[in-house]
Amino acid sequence: MTPRALAALRAVAATLVPEGGADLADRVAERVAALPRPADRAELDLLLRLFESRVANLLLAGTARPFSALAPAGRDPPVVPDVLVLPVEPEAFVEWDDVEVRVQPRGLDPLPV
């Protein structure tokens, strides 16, 4: 596991299990190193390195900092309201009775009408 991936793993573990995150991260890293398929290890390493990507964090969390550099409170996901209010007039919604749906199977030529 790359150092960046290990840093992300430690930060994730510390966020999810604050009282034992460092030890947990090291145990998970050992298990990952023992995976038989190199592709599985590489995929997990890539995922963890995305946590450390400034661009990925800017897009996903609104901050251009690596996950491991965030304060523990900043690692929590943003709060999403229970109700999403859209500034749209009710008349903008279409009744399903007014919608015509045609299904065209792939690979078949349409039948002449």
- pLDDT tens, residue by residue, 46-80: 999 988 888 888 887 778 888 888 887 777 655 54
* Between 110 and 47, residue with greater pLDDT: 47
DSSP string, 38-54: HHHHHHHHHHHHHHT-H
pTM here? 0.60
CA distance 43 to 23: 22
CA distance 21 to 14: 4
Query: Other CB atoms closer than 10 Å to residue 5's CB: what's the count?
Result: 21
Pick from 57, 56, 54, 48: nearest CA to 28: 48
Pick from 83, 40, 77: nearest CA to 57: 77
pLDDT number for residue 57? 81
Alpha-carbon separation of residue 7 from 19, 26, 110 (angstroms): 17, 10, 55
Domain ranges of the chain: 3-75
- pLDDT tens, residue by residue, 79-99: 545 555 555 555 555 555 555
Q: Would you say residue 44 has pLDDT above 60?
A: yes
